[in-house]
Amino acid sequence: MSSILIFIVTTYNNLEVQGYEEGGDIQENESHLPLLLTAALNGHEAVLKLLLNTGKANADSKDKDGRTALSWAAGNGHEAIVRLLLDTGKVDADSKDKDGWTPLY
């Protein structure tokens, strides 16, 4: 299920989440960003909320370059996503990526 959701999140701007398969893999694998980072990157607030509500998604996970969901959301101007992530209390706004940039630089 997670690979299908990844495809939907990265391909369509208008997105309606129909459901989430309980126990699906939402973490990073060899070919895709974690779903949480993908949702933040593309500004999909509904998907981000769904993933956070599973309790399985790491709100502060990093990609191979050290960028977090907060970094991707802030860098792409997704203010609602930034607020949602900060409101979790589980993200480090001062974390640095491989180039030394912080999410809210």
Q: Could you report the per-residue pLDDT of 60-74, keeping only the tens digit for each? A: 999 999 999 999 999
**Alpha helices, DSSP H, located in 58-98:** 69-75, 79-87
What is the domain range of residue 82? 2-14+27-87
pLDDT tier at 98, thresholds 50, 70, 90: very high
- Map residue 82 onto helix, strand or coil: helix
Residue 44 class from Cβ within 10 Å (0-12 exposed, 13-18 middle, 19+ buried)?
buried
Residue 63 lies in a domain: yes
Taking 60 as the threshold, does the pLDDT of residue 1 lie above it? Answer: no
Q: What is residue 62's DSSP assignment? A: B
CATH number of the domain enclosing 72: 1.25.40.20
Mean pLDDT of 8-22: 49
| 41 lies in some domain | yes
Q: How far apart are CA 92 and CA 11, in angstroms?
A: 28
Report whether pLDDT(90) > 90. yes
